[in-house]
Chain A
C-alpha cells in the first residue's frame, strides 16, 4: 500500500510531461497527415523496406545485448586502474554523428581498412563489410556501449551486502549468477532490448551506407522517397506511423516481460566480488574487456588520427558552431531531465508511460521535421526557431535513454524505502529531496551526460530549418564535407568527439561525486 502511495503522489506532473512528449511526436505526424489530406497506402517496395528494417533491427538488437551482458559483468566484477575512463570511452560510438562514426568504422573494417590490410599481409582472404552483416556490425558498434551501460547499472543496483552474504554462504560464480544476477538480468535486459530495437528501427544513414545497395532500403529511406521524389506526404506519414506502431508493440512486450529487482535495501557500500576471484574468471573477464575495448576503441583511434592534424587549424565558424552546439545541448539536457524525472516517477505506477518516451527515437526525423515545419510555418518563420526546435527535439530523443537509466533504480528505491517514507509521513517533496534524489544521483548524472552528448552529436532536425548564420557542429561537419573539405570535416569530427565525451564525463562524474562504484 505504502509503495503505491509513494508513486501516486508523484503521478500528476509525470502524466503532463508524457502528454507533452506525445504531443511533440504525434502532433507533427498528425500535421503531415492533415496537410496531405489523408494517408497514402505503402507500395510493395515499402513493405520490402519494412521487412529489411525489422530483420536488421532484430539482429542488431539481439547481438548488441548478448555481447553487452558479459561485458557489463566483467566491468561490474573487476576493479582496475583506468576503469572509469574505459567506461566513458566505451560510450563514445553512441554519441558520434553517424557519418563520423561510419568513417571511423570503415578505417578499421573497410576495404582499405586496417583489418583487411592485416589479413592481406598474413596471406588471408580479405573480408567485405558491405551488406546486412555490415549494417549489424555498425549497429552493434553504436549500441553495445549503451547496452553495456544499462546492464552495468543493473549490476550496480544489487547491494554489496548481497554479494557478501553470497560469499559467506560459500556460493561460487555460477550460484551467484543464479540467485542474484539472473533475476537482475530478467529485470534489466528487456528494457535494454527495447531501447536498442527502437534506435535500430529508425536507423537510416548507417543502414544505407553499409548495406551495399537498395537491398538495404529501410523505412526511413522509403519515407525520404515518398517525400522528396513523389511528394506523397500521406504515404510518408503512414510509413512513420507504422514505425511508431512497431516500437510501441516492442515496448509493450518488453515492459510486460521486465520484472522488478527486489533485492532489498543495502547500505550503498562499495562492491567487492568474492565469488569472482578465481584465475579462470579473471582471465575470462580480462579477455572480454580486451575484445570489447578493441572493437569499440580502434575506430575511435582512427577518428583521432584522421582528425588530429586538422583540429587546431579549424576555421572560426567551426568553433562558433561548437559553441552553438554546447548551448543547444545545455538547454536540451535541462529539458530532458525536467521531462524525464516526473515521467520516471509516474512510470512507477504506469510502466507503459515509458513507451511514450520511446516514440521519440522511433519517430522518423524527416516526418517530425516536416510536421513541425507545417505546424510552425503559419505562425512564424521556422528558421528563427531552428535552435529552439533542435533543443526540444534533441531533448525528446534523449528521453527514452534517461528513463531507461532511471526507472530500474526508482523501482528499487520504492521497494526499499517506500514503506519507511510512508510510515514517517514524509511529504512528497521531502521524499524527493531526502530519499529519491540522493539515491538517483548517479542515474541522473548519467542521463544528463547522455542527453548532452547526444544533443551535441545529433544532427536532429536542424538540416530542415537551417539558418545560414547559425549552424550546429554536426551541421557544420556536413557542410564541410559538402564543400570537399574532408580533412577539416575530420578535424571537426574529432572536436565533436572530444566535446561530447568531456561533457558526458563531467556530468556523469558529477552524478557520482562521492559514490564509489
Chain B
C-alpha cells in the first residue's frame, strides 16, 4: 500500500509542474534542519518570488560537491548553496556552474570577485575553551603545553580540513613538525564537528576545534557565558560559504533572483543566529549584541581557491605522517 501511495505521489507531482515554478537548491544538511536558516529563508523568498523553493539536503559541503559530480549535467539542482573556498575550484572545474549577475558590497575580510560564486556567510576557525581556561596563544605554545584538544578528521569533516589548511598556511614547510608536536595534545579525532563538540562539552578535552562565533550560540540560546574562542597569534583560517548557479538550470531568472535575494538584508539577518556565522553583508540592524563579545582575529588566513586542492593533498599527507607515528 505504502509503495502504491508512493507511486501515486510520484505521478501526481510530475503532472502538476506547470502551476508554479520550482527552484531547487542543494545544500548541506544542517542548513535545512529545523534549527538552520533553511525554513526562514524558504518562507521569506517564497513571499517575493511566486515560486516553490525546495531545499535538498546532502550531507556537508564536500558531500554536496560529490553528489553534484555524481549527477553531472543531469542534476535537478538550480543552485548549489554551501560550498566553501576550499571546494570552489574543484566545483568550477566540473564546468557545471555558470557566472552569476550579482554585484554587492561584501563585508568580508578579503576582496571578493569570483565570477561563479556568491558568498553568503563566513567565519573563522578557532579553538573553543572554557572562559576560565588558561589557553595557549599559538600552535607552538599549544604543542608545548599539556592542553588537550579534540579535532575533526580532515577526510570526513569540513572544520577538520579547515584546521589542516590553517596550520599549513601559518607554517608552510614546518606544518608537519607542528603536527608532530600536537600529536600528544590530540585526545582524539572525530568524524565530524558534532561529535567533537559533543566530546568537548562532556569534558573530554580542554579545547575543541570550532568557530570564533560558537560562544555566541551559548550566550544567545543558553544565556551561558562560560565558553570562549581562543585567539591565536598566527591569525585564524577563514571559511567563506558560497552559492552558485548551475549552467543547466531551467529557471535561470529565478536562480538569479535567489542569488540576489541572498545578499539582501532579509537573508543576511537570518544567518547569524541560525547558521552561527558572520553575514557576508552586514544587516542594517547590525549583529546581535552577543557577537560584540567575540574575539576578532587580527590576521585572516585563507588559501586562494585555485591553490586549495594542491595544498590540501600535500597537507593531508603531512598530517597523516605526523600523526600516524
**B104 interfacial by beta-carbon distance below 8 Å:** no
A48 to B155 Cα, complex, angstroms: 16
**A417 interfacial by beta-carbon distance below 8 Å:** no
Contact B187 A212 (CB under 8 A): yes
Within 8 A of B (CB), among A82-136: 99, 102-103, 106-107, 110-112, 130
Name the B residues within 8 Å of A485 (CB-CB).
Answer: 35
Within 8 A of A (CB), among B1-43: 2-3, 6, 9-10, 13, 29-30, 32-36, 38
Contact B202 A112 (CB under 8 A): yes
B70 to chain A, nearest CB (A): 6
Contact A481 B197 (CB under 8 A): yes
Q: Closest chain B residue to A210 by CB distance?
A: B188
Q: Point out the residue from A204, A214, A378, A486 that lies within 8 Å of B189, measured CB to CB.
A: A214
Instruction: Determine the interface band of chain B, counting residues with CB < 8 A from chain A.
Output: 35 or more
Q: Closest chain A residue to B189 by CB distance?
A: A213
Q: Does more than half of chain A's interface fall in helix, strand or loop, or is it mixed? A: helix
A492 to chain B, nearest CB (A): 12
Name the B residues within 8 Å of A384 (CB-CB).
Answer: 6, 9-10, 13
B205 to chain A, nearest CB (A): 7
Given A112-B203, A228-B63, A464-B63, A479:B34 Cβ within 8 A: yes
B26 to chain A, nearest CB (A): 10
Per-residue B-contact encoding for A191-227, CB less than 8 Å = 1, 0 else: 0000000000000110011111111000001001101
Per-residue A-contact encoding for B189-202, CB less than 8 Å = 1, 0 else: 11111110111011
Given A208-B189, A463-B29, A464-B58, A482:B155 Cβ within 8 A: no
Per-residue B-contact encoding for A343-378, CB less than 8 Å = 1, 0 else: 000000000000000000000000000100110011
User: Which of A204, A221, A464 has the most B CB atoms < 10 Å from its CB?
Assistant: A464
Contact B199 A106 (CB under 8 A): yes
Given A209-B191, A481-B197, A466:B58 Cβ within 8 A: yes
Per-residue A-contact encoding for B30-65, CB less than 8 Å = 1, 0 else: 101111101000000000000000011111001101
User: Which of A331, A370, A484, A489 has the most B CB atoms < 10 Å from its CB?
Assistant: A484
Contact A484 B189 (CB under 8 A): no
**A58 interfacial by beta-carbon distance below 8 Å:** no
Contact A479 B29 (CB under 8 A): yes
A156 to B63 Cα, complex, angstroms: 47
**B266 interfacial by beta-carbon distance below 8 Å:** no
Q: Point out the residue from A106, A215, A471, A481 that lies within 8 Å of B194, measured CB to CB.
A: A481
A471 to B197 Cα, complex, angstroms: 22
Q: Point out the residue from B35, B62, B201 that lies within 8 Å of A479, measured CB to CB.
A: B35
A201 to B164 Cα, complex, angstroms: 28
Given A214-B319, A482-B193, A388:B3 Cβ within 8 A: yes
Name the B residues within 8 Å of A383 (CB-CB).
Answer: 56
Contact B35 A483 (CB under 8 A): yes
Per-residue B-contact encoding for A368-397, CB less than 8 Å = 1, 0 else: 001001100110110111001000000000
Within 8 A of B (CB), among A398-438: none
**A478 interfacial by beta-carbon distance below 8 Å:** yes
A209 to B300 Cα, complex, angstroms: 30
A212 to B9 Cα, complex, angstroms: 47
**B204 interfacial by beta-carbon distance below 8 Å:** yes
Q: Point out the residue from B30, B38, B320 that lies within 8 Å of A45, measured CB to CB.
A: B320
**A229 interfacial by beta-carbon distance below 8 Å:** yes
Given A466-B58, A468-B55, A482:B30 Cβ within 8 A: yes
**B314 interfacial by beta-carbon distance below 8 Å:** no
Contact A468 B323 (CB under 8 A): no
A416 to chain B, nearest CB (A): 39
A185 to B19 Cα, complex, angstroms: 66
A317 to B191 Cα, complex, angstroms: 25
B157 to chain A, nearest CB (A): 10
A384 to B9 Cα, complex, angstroms: 9
Name the A residues within 8 Å of B56 (CB-CB).
Answer: 383, 467-468
A102 to B57 Cα, complex, angstroms: 26
Q: Closest chain A residue to B312 by CB distance?
A: A229
**B76 interfacial by beta-carbon distance below 8 Å:** yes
Q: Point out the residue from B76, B187, B195, B319 that lies within 8 Å of A381, measured CB to CB.
A: B76
A112 to B150 Cα, complex, angstroms: 14
**B280 interfacial by beta-carbon distance below 8 Å:** no
B186 to chain A, nearest CB (A): 6
**A231 interfacial by beta-carbon distance below 8 Å:** yes
Residue pairs across A and B with Cβ atoms less than 8 A apart, 5 shown, are A103-B199, A378-B74, A482-B192, A482-B193, A484-B197
Beyond A214-B319, A214-B320, A482-B193, 7 additional contacts (C-beta under 8 Å) are: A110-B202, A110-B204, A130-B187, A215-B324, A373-B67, A466-B58, A485-B35
Binding site for B on A (CB under 8 A): 35, 45, 48, 99, 102-103, 106-107, 110-112, 130, 204-205, 208-215, 221, 224-225, 227-229, 231, 315, 317, 331, 370, 373-374, 377-378, 380-381, 383-385, 388, 463-464, 466-468, 471, 478-486, 489
